[in-house]
Each structure stands twice: as C-alpha cells, then as structure tokens.
Amino acid sequence: MAAGTTVTADAVSGGTTPAAGTYGYVARLTNGTAGCSGALIDPQWVITASACFPSAAPGKPSAPITVTFAGGAQVQHVTWLVQHADRDVVLAKLDNPVAITPVPLAATGPVTGETLQVAGFGRTTTDWVPDQPRVAPFTAGAATGALLPLSSSTGVDACKGDAGGPAIRDTSGQLVAITHLSFQHGCLGSTETRQGISDTRVDDLAPWIAQTRDTYRDRDLHLFPLAAGVVWHNVLPAHGTVWQHLDAIATNVSYVASGTMANGDIALATISNQALSLRFGHRDGTWTAPTVIDNGIAAVTLGADTDGDLHVFPLAMNGVVWHNILKTDGTWQRLDAVASNVQALTSTSWSDGSGTLVTVSDGTLSKNTENSNHCGECTGPGTWIGAHALDTGVTSAAYVWLPTGDDHVFPLATGVVWHNVYKPDGTVQRLPEVARNASSVAAIALGNGDVYVTTISGGNVSQTVEHADGTATGPTVIDSGGSVTQEALTLA
C-alpha cells in the first residue's frame, strides 16, 4: 500500500456474521466520539489499536470508554490504558473480569499465504453501525517488521470501526495481528477502488502483555494494623467492598512492615524487643514461622524487586539505616549503610531495578535513590546516590511511585497528612490534605492508578482513595478498635 492513501480502519465491508457461540471475544469499544474493535485476551484485558484512544503514558482514559462483546453481553468500562512504545497497540483494562473465553495469542509469526479471519464491529457495505461483528477471510502477505499486509480475493475490506479488530489464524484460532490501516474498499460511504489491509503483529508481544497484566492486575489489599502489641491481618478482596478480619499474626510487637514478593507471597517484618523477625504469607493463607534476622532495631521497611530479591532496610537504634538483600536462593547479602541520623523510616519502592528509600531526619523528609542494577554511578552494590530533600517539619510519611513516573508523597506534619506529587519534569503538585489529627500514615498504589491511603487517628484506622484525576474518596473509618498505633499495607 502506498503511504498516505490509507486511513485508520475505524468493520469488514463484506464477510458474514459469525455463528452463535463463536468469536465471543470480539469487542466493540466506544467513547462517544470514536469507535473501534478489539479482542479479549484475558478476562479483564482487551487489545486494540492505540490510534483509537491515544495515551502517551499508562493511565485512565481521557473520556469514558464502554466495551461490549458479541451479542451485546457483559457491558464493561475501561479503567486503564497501557500503550505499546512503538506499535499501534494498546491494552485496555476492564473494570471487572468477564465470563467470556479469551482468544489465545499466537505462538508463531504469520506465514505468507496463510488464511487469517479478520473480525470487527465496523461499518459494512450496508450498515453504518452493525450490532454484531463481521468476519471475513484474508490472505497474509510478507510481514515487514511489525506490519502485516492482508488481501482478499472476494473484494471485502476493513472499514471504519474495525481498527484494533483481531486477525485470527484459520488453523488454530489464535490471535496473530490486529487491524491497523485500510483502503476501506466496499465500505458504506466509500468510493475507493483500491483494497487491502495493513495489520499490526501481536504474536511476539507475549512478554509485554504478561508484564502489563502483572503490573496492573487486581490484587487483594492486605492491612496489618498494630494494636496493643498485636499485629492483625485484614483483607479487602479485589472488587470487594467489605473488609475480612482474619487472625492475629504476631504478638509483643512494637513495629510492623510488609511487602509483596515477585511470586505473590507477602513478606511481613515485625520488631519485638528490638529483634527484627521476618515471615512469609502464602496465597493459600498459611504463614511460615518467624525468623529473627537482626537485633537492635527500632523500625524497618522492605520491598521486593522484579528479580525476586527482597530488600530489607532496618533502622538501628543509633539512627543508621542498613541495606540487606534476601536473595532468591535464600542467602543474605549484607550491604553498607544507606543513611544516618534517621528518626523515621517511611517506605521503599522498586522499579526497573532502581531503589527509592524515604527517610525523616530532624524533620526533613528525604528521598534516597539507588541507580539501576544497584549501582549506576556508585562504586559498588549498596552505595546510594545521596539524599534529596522533599519537605521539612515532617514526623513521618508514606511514599508511592506510579508507572507514570510520578512520586506521590504523603508527609505527616503536626497531625496533618498532606499529598504532594513530584513530577518527572521537576514540578510539584500540592494537593489538598488527606487527614487531620493523624498519628500514622501508609499508602500503596492500586492497579488502576489510584493511591490507597490509610491514616490513624485516636486509635482508629481510616481509608482514603486518592484518584488519578486529583479527586479523593474518604476518609472512611475501617477499623474502630481505638487502640491501633501503626499499620502496614500491601497488595497481593
């Protein structure tokens, strides 16, 4: 196809309506001004063309997107968009999983001359907005990089509304590509005599899709409130609204911290009589026995990296923060001190192998950073690149990093929890306060871009959800025991 002569395929001009019970994974996506097709590749994820809903960074849609499937069943809405870096591909996360069998991704690339069934909800020869998808066979040409030309000997073509629609391997029923561009030959309202489709290959995107689904998958929210020396375990199931109050995990505890391992296990650190212990909670609800890993400790924070290693940062009684790594083989790597004169250890975050540790020293809130691969500018593993002051007059804080590159910091100062967003360009967005009369704060990023914040006031735990659009829901009391002094949060 000659450049400049094709347009985004916004349905199949010919073809047939698929038989009942087939192609149920074909989706229609609309936002009021644009309509495209897509394919369900996971109970909660649809793949489509990014040209339909452009988004430079992962985030919520700029306008509400409604998703329907063949037969009009199970209407859903898109909560999150993740665009591929260099292809006309975007993954759209649905607000709830659907009871429809997803289409499997092809394990091998397209073969010149093979038959692919192209499906979509776009206009046809006679209908502007068909209520059912249409399917037609096309012949694959020779792929050039990520682009795959398709042609039909029967005169059909992709039309407006077909962009993002699946191209299915005829012999296996697997997804090979999605519609990118078309001449729109034979489409209602078109006089174009040329025909043909250019598709975007997706058969080789399995690693990216898997990583995206894991990064933004729905997880249960686990809250570990510390009350009168006892650590309890509360769970808010994904898509649930009612907290489940489980058993006590530990007693005689003065401090608690938690994190999620790469395998989905929960790492729970507790301090009792200055002895730091570590235990792990499995997905089946069982816990390992606690193991003492350090002594003379006042506080701790921890976080797992994508390699599966657990980074533990104990704050010693003398104000020094150390960096220890529990490797996947069960061995410990004891590294150097990260910071000194620290009174409060707030939180840690890991992304792309880089570590971030937030500390409070004499009221100054600082962000300490370690470069990728635990080195970068440093002279050896464990050497960190200074401390960057974020705020003053702070007694504690919570810190959350989002894939957009934003640092969300919740400093606690004179009982008020604030919300500051540090942008990648160096600017700071000061949002309204989260809570008053607070004595503790914790926060965690949810899979949809929202940030979940807990605060303690008068021994009670309250929740606030800070939404990506700058609005907030809450605070709402979720634990009214009246004796909670500290809490830990994690998603697993």
Q: Label each residue of the chain as H, E or C.
A: CCCCCCEECCCECCCECCCCCCCCCEEEEECCCCEEEEEEEECCEEEECCCCCCCCCCECCCCCCEEEEHHHCCCEEEEEEEECCCCCCEEEEECCCCCCCCCCECCCCCCCCCEEEEEECCCCCCCCCCCCCEEEEEEECCCECCEEEEECCCCCCECCCCCCCEEEECCCCCEEEEEEEECCCCCCCCCCCCCCEEEEECCCCHHHHHHHHHHCCCCCEEEEEEECCEEEEEEECCCCCCCEEEEEEECCCCEEEEEECCCCCEEEEEEECCEEEEEEECCCCCECCCEEEEECEEEEEEEECCCCCEEEEEEECCCCEEEEEECCCCCEEEEEEEECCCCEEEEEEEECCEEEEEEEECCEEEEEEECHHHCCCCCCCCCCEEEEEEECCCCEEEEEECCCCCEEEEEEECCEEEEEEECCCCCEEEEEEEECCCCEEEEEECCCCCEEEEEEECCEEEEEEECCCCCEEEEEEEECCCCEEEEEEEEC
At residue 243, the pLDDT reads: 92
Residues of the chain with CATH 2.120.10.70: 218-491
Residue 169 pLDDT > 70: yes
Q: What distance in Å separates the CA atoms of residue 425 and residue 442, rounded to the nearest whole number? A: 26
The fraction of the chain above a pLDDT of 90, given in percent, is 51
The chain-wide mean pLDDT, for the chain, equals 85
Q: Tell me the pLDDT tens digit for each residue of 452-473.
A: 999 999 999 999 999 888 889 9
Q: Three-state secondary structure along 386-419?
A: EEEEEECCCCEEEEEECCCCCEEEEEEECCEEEE
Predicted confidence (pLDDT) at residue 80 exceeds the cutoff of 70: yes
pLDDT at 187 over 90: no
Query: What are the tens digits of pLDDT across the range 375-387?
Result: 333 333 344 555 6
CA–CA dist 245, 124 (Å, integer): 54
Q: Which residues have a Cβ under 8 Å from the Cβ of 425 and sit 6 or more positions away?
A: none
User: What is the mean predicted confidence (pLDDT) over 211-215?
Assistant: 83
Neighbours of 20 (CB within 10 A): 10
**pLDDT score at 185:** 57
To which CATH superfamily is domain 218-491 assigned? Fucose-specific lectin (2.120.10.70)
pLDDT at residue 188, rounded to an integer: 59
For residue 283, name the pLDDT band (cuts at 50, 70, 90): confident
Average pLDDT of span 56-75: 80
Inform me whether the pLDDT recorded for 3 exceeds 60.
Answer: no
pLDDT at 104: 96
* CATH 2.40.10.120 in the chain, residue ranges: 7-211
The pLDDT of residue 58: 78
CATH 2.40.10.120 describes domain 7-211: yes
| Residue-wise pLDDT tens digits, 413-441 | 999 999 999 888 889 999 999 999 999 99
pLDDT given at position 377: 34
